[in-house]
Chain A
Amino acid sequence: MKIEEWYKERIESNTEDPPEKVWEEVQNALDLDLVWNALSTELETPGKNRKPIYWAMAASVLLLIASLGMMLFFADVFRSSGTDSVASAHRPLMISRLPSITGIQTALPASPAYPHATIVRKKHAHPGYHDLIPVASPHFSMPAFIASASTASLPANTPAPGAFPVYGDDAEPSPVGARDGGLLLASEVETTPWPGWYVGLSVQYANTWMRNEKTIIGLQNTSLVDSRPSFGRSLGFVAGKQVAERFDVKIAFDIISEKRQSYNEYLHGKFVSTGLDMDYTKLSLMAGYRFLHNKRHMMVFGMYAGYLTNAEYTVDGNRENVLHDFQKTDYGLVSGYEYTHALNRNFLLATGVYAHYGLTNVFAGGEQFPAYLNRTNFLSFHFGVSLGYLMD
């Protein structure tokens, strides 16, 4: 074998790997190429990429204005219509807190079996329809009922309209009603007894997706990146109030709201697990619409604003703080479905599913890699449980 052939064979059978920094430098150079190309494109088409942001901002402002307007409108309607709307909404707890009872046309003593009960006929009650609502509040001194009843079912000694009993403040209510004279047991009455402000704790478990090019590529089978379903938790406080027959307002403050995105990707010659863990403190303002007859089902919609408190990138178990790579604030839209259930007169349990959609690009970028080259926003699907306590 000639020396040059031996040399060639030796060179081509090299077993020494180049240092990893070589590949990193190659990547840096290619990133700069991308930046340069993107900058050129951006300069050629000024403003092109900003339009969606303007549209999103405009939509957000409109939604906010509409939500606030609707809340104010229905709050006003509620105040002006008085107890009539309350009675029709089957929310007797509100009676004790209303400024007037002008909407109730007739107040009647109940059957002889319950001499202290009171029947109130609604202003526009359907003849023959009997509907009894127990007034279950510590502010009432006796079992009392708000009902619609036909004139024929009323006792002969029906008092004149406006003869409404005066209630005391210290007696416990009775949980029972009566069937005679069209009265029903309390357990048979559907109510949504949460007219006042309630506050409580909220826990959510969320499937979070970081929407950017990498994640989307990772959902394709042909890629060396595999985007994995990722889950995070939220923990915080919730407060809410019914402002009209079918409308609620709700505020949620999450002390911690975890956003996660994990991958399995080919790095440094092998497949490794990587992931981005971001923690937010989040405030959500929502409006709810109660639907169906019992009004326990509610569609919610609104907005959220989040403040980033921590961001870490994990590669094969090694964590690196990347807080400076991301915007401190994020905001977006919330929509969902919620089912509310009164555990008793003081506690309300609500379960729901919600979707959160971020409107901002959370990637901050830098001098070498501008933010618009890696547009990133969050989409998350939450399952939540909250326990509320009636304040007044």
Chain B
Amino acid sequence: MTKDLYSEEEIINGCIRNDRQLQEVLYRKYARKMYGVCMGYAGKNRDMAQDMLQEAFIKVFRNIKQYGRKGALEGWIRRIVANTAIDMLRKQSVHQNLIQEEVPESISDPDNEVFSSMAGKDILTQVARLPEGARIIFNLYALEGFSHKEIAEQLDISTGTSKSQFSRARHLLKEWLREQTG
């Protein structure tokens, strides 16, 4: 419905004018997807996911004049959501929430393994089990497409830590998913 009513250009211009109705149109258009992203970062904590979403959209509306219209609007919003999520989680110290246990080398790493047969919510449930630090690293790599170097800069950790945490997170998730499917 909203797509028929307004183009992205009109929505952006309306938000710049502080037109509340068009701000709502923008919010409704992207809130659901960004809520999913926030839940990916916040894990089991729904309240935190909602706080992330709220803070992120406030930043979007306050800074929409700075949106250069060079890339996609969704990408710009997504970046703000991710940064907001990281800022909120960083306060709880990423370093203290990394995976400490060693992952056995014997666990296979079948990249082409088919997971789509499993219930969709399982992957979210298992990611939520990851320690917060490892979850952020996994999300930044998987969702935002960051390199380990970028993740290291973003979280003020070493590139090695980012790589090892991602690898451990990936192995743990696969193991947990196998346990789920029996």
Contact = CB atoms under 8 A, between A and B. Distances in A.
Interface of A: 1-8, 10-19, 21-23, 25-27, 29-30, 33-34, 217, 222-225, 265-267, 269
A223 B21 contact: yes
B36 A11 contact: yes
12 contacts: A3-B123, A4-B138, A4-B141, A11-B143, A12-B37, A16-B32, A17-B35, A18-B53, A22-B53, A26-B58, A29-B54, A224-B25
Interface in B139-182: 141-143, 170, 173-174, 177
Interface in B111-128: 111-116, 120, 123-124, 127
A118 B109 CA distance: 124
The secondary-structure label for the interface of chain B is helix
Contacts of B10: 222
B32 A17 contact: yes
A12 B33 contact: yes
A3 B40 CA distance: 14
A316 to B, nearest CB: 15
B32 A26 contact: no
- Identify which of A12, A16, A18 gathers the most chain B CB atoms within 10 Å of its CB: A18
Nearest to B10: A222
Contacts of A23: 24, 27, 31
A266 B21 contact: yes
Which 4 pairs of residues, A with B, have the shortest CB-CB distance?
Answer: A14-B36, A224-B21, A4-B142, A18-B35
Contact residue range for chain B? 35 or more
A2 B145 CA distance: 14
Contacts of A265: 21
B62 interface: yes
A18 B120 contact: no
Contacts of A6: 115-116, 123
Given A17-B32, A33-B62, A1 B114 contact: yes
B31 A2 contact: no
B25 to A, nearest CB: 7
B32 A266 contact: no
B40 A11 contact: yes
Contacts of B113: 3
Most buried by A among B21, B27, B177: B21
A274 B182 CA distance: 54
B61 interface: yes
Contacts of B5: 224
Contacts of B36: 11-14, 16
Given A3-B123, A26-B57, A224-B25, 17 more contacts: A2-B112, A3-B173, A3-B174, A6-B123, A8-B143, A11-B36, A15-B32, A17-B31, A18-B32, A18-B49, A18-B50, A22-B31, A26-B58, A30-B58, A30-B61, A33-B62, A223-B19
Nearest to A17: B32
B28 interface: yes
Nearest to A269: B28
Nearest to B36: A14
B37 A11 contact: yes
A7 B114 CA distance: 12
B134 interface: no
Contact of B35 (A7, A16, A26, A224): A16
Contacts of A8: 142-143
A1 B138 CA distance: 16
A223 B111 CA distance: 50
